[in-house]
């Protein structure tokens, strides 16, 4: 059997040989043969999941319902670089957790048959070619029957990724959610269309993404030029700035943006920039800012997001370089875990399979 057609299989903690944990539930219980998750993590994949080549046939054969895909790309960045380390940082943080989430009583790994499809290859200095690779790899995951946990990488990542989702649902409509400290709605940046500050602008250009299904939450402070806000006002796109989130509450605002994105659509893209979180709990991002979403509230947002679901759940701008404490990568990892845990609980309550 070719490597591209291997079915989903999991050796707990990625260990082989005489020290392998062979019990089927060894990955969710205290290990018997070695130190497991914390000291001998083995090959570093997201959640310790098996690696799967990013080809639709292999993903389909594995029965995977969640693909983790890294995008170590930061050359669409207009502020400080460092997000190319984001996927590796998030994978590293996941070695410090079991895939069992007691809050939801679910083993995420086996419930979703998670696979790690590695990183999208990037071409230094060539944003267009790198974006085309992102489009291709995300498309393969979607056509393989899986939803995607996507880790950037700078915030130009959703431009090709949303295009992949748009084409996947070419006979229907998609919604687009943008959670960010910045509005990121520049028509262009010095004549360049595909930068980390143009995601919503490019999303609105997609043929099946209507302005009535685009929503933004979390913007604040001075790195938001007037023409960015003009984009949202001129196109009548819902913006919930951070001061409104603080006044109305996280649950009401989060449910509003997901209701907007899912209204009459066949799938949605959720783009979550880590600089939407407060600098006190997320220093490891490219443009850390005060007056943001705190850690506890960020988990709340992720849990609510899980009740709705998304075809692509993207975490971007994670830059471990700027956080020697590692609290940023752990918080980003927890956002993905709680999103998946909440999603699993919701599906079980609805009597549905992932």
* Tens of pLDDT, residues 36-95: 666 566 678 999 899 999 999 999 999 999 999 999 989 888 788 899 999 999 999 998
Q: Which of 22-36, 76-90, 225-239 has the highest mean pLDDT?
A: 225-239
The neighbour count for residue 187, using CB atoms within 10 Å, is: 12
Kindly report whether the peptide bond that precedes residue 153 is cis, defined as omega within 30 degrees of 0: yes
- β 106-107/100-101 pair status: antiparallel
Average pLDDT over residues 13-39: 73
Least confident range from 29-33, 81-85, 235-239: namely: 29-33
Average pLDDT over residues 294-302: 98
pLDDT band, very low/low/confident/very high, at 2 (cuts 50, 70, 90): very low
- Report how far apart, in Å, the C-alpha atoms of 41 and of each of 85, 194, 215, 318, 349 are: 19, 37, 39, 22, 33
**Are the CB atoms for 104 and 33 separated by under 8 Å?**
no
DSSP annotation of 8 = P
Structure-block tokens of residue 286: 């490219």
Structure-block tokens of residue 102: 């007691």
Q: Quick one: pLDDT at residue 4?
A: 47
Q: Quick one: pLDDT at residue 328?
A: 98
Q: Quick one: pLDDT at residue 339?
A: 98
Chain segment 173-229, per-residue pLDDT in tens: 999 999 999 999 988 888 878 888 899 999 999 999 999 999 999 999 999 999 999
pLDDT band, very low/low/confident/very high, at 8 (cuts 50, 70, 90): confident
Sign of CA dihedral 164, 213, 221, 333: negative
Cα-flanking dihedrals φ and ψ of residue 307, to 5°?
-75, -20
Structure-block tokens of residue 271: 């783009």
pLDDT above 60: residue 264? yes
Q: Quick one: pLDDT at residue 64?
A: 98
Q: What is the mean pLDDT of the chain?
A: 92
Least confident range from 22-26, 44-48, 258-262, 329-333: namely: 22-26
Q: What is the 3-state secondary structure (H, E, C) of 67-106?
A: EEEEECCCCCCCCCCCHHHHHHHHHHHHCCCCCEECCCCE
Q: Quick one: pLDDT at residue 31?
A: 76
The neighbour count for residue 226, using CB atoms within 10 Å, is: 8
Strands (E), the chain: 66-71, 100-101, 106-107, 115-119, 147-152, 174-179, 214-217, 238-240, 267-273, 312-316
Residues in contact with 98: Cβ distance below 8 Å, sequence separation at least 6, in sequence order: 27, 28, 37
pLDDT band, very low/low/confident/very high, at 10 (cuts 50, 70, 90): confident
The neighbour count for residue 118, using CB atoms within 10 Å, is: 18
Sign of CA dihedral 56, 59, 61, 63: negative
pLDDT band, very low/low/confident/very high, at 33 (cuts 50, 70, 90): confident
- Report how far apart, in Å, the C-alpha atoms of 198 and of each of 159, 189, 233, 280 are: 8, 8, 16, 26
**Are the CB atoms for 72 and 153 separated by under 8 Å?**
yes
Q: Quick one: pLDDT at residue 79?
A: 83
pLDDT above 60: residue 242? yes
List the domains of the chain with CATH numbers.
40-349 (3.40.800.10)
Note the pTM of the prediction, 2 decimals.
0.95
pLDDT above 80: residue 13? no
């Amino acid at each position: 059997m070719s490597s591209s057609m291997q079915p989903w299989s999991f050796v707990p903690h990625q260990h082989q040989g005489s020290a392998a944990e062979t019990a089927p539930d060894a990955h969710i219980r205290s290990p018997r043969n070695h130190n497991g998750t914390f000291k001998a993590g083995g090959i570093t994949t997201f959640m310790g999941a098996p690696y799967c080549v990013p080809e639709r046939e292999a993903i389909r054969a594995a029965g995977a319902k969640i693909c983790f895909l890294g995008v170590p790309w930061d050359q669409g960045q207009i502020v400080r670089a460092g997000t190319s380390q984001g996927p590796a940082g998030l994978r590293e943080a996941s070695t410090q957790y079991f895939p069992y989430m007691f809050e939801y009583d679910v083993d995420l790994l086996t419930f979703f048959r998670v696979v790690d499809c590695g990183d999208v290859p990037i071409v230094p200095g060539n944003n267009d070619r790198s974006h085309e690779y992102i489009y291709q790899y995300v498309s393969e995951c979607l056509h393989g029957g899986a939803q995607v946990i996507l880790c950037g990488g700078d915030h130009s990542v959703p431009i090709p990724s949303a295009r992949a989702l748009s084409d996947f649902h070419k006979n229907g409509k998609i919604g687009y959610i943008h959670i960010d400290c910045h509005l990121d709605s520049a028509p262009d940046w010095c004549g360049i269309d595909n930068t980390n500050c143009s995601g919503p602008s490019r999303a609105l250009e997609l043929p099946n993404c209507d302005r009535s299904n685009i929503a933004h939450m979390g913007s604040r402070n001075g790195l938001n030029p007037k023409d960015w806000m003009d984009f949202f006002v001129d196109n009548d796109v819902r913006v919930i700035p951070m001061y409104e989130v603080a006044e109305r509450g996280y649950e009401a605002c989060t449910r509003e943006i997901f209701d907007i994105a899912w209204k009459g659509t066949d799938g949605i893209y959720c783009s979550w920039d880590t600089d939407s979180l407060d600098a006190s709990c997320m220093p490891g991002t490219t443009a850390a800012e005060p007056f943001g979403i705190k850690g506890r509230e960020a988990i709340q947002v992720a849990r609510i997001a899980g009740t709705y679901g998304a075809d692509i759940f993207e975490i971007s701008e994670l830059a471990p370089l700027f956080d020697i404490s590692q609290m940023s990568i752990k918080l980003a990892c927890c956002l993905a875990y709680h999103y998946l845990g909440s999603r699993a609980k919701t599906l079980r309550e609805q009597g549905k399979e992932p």
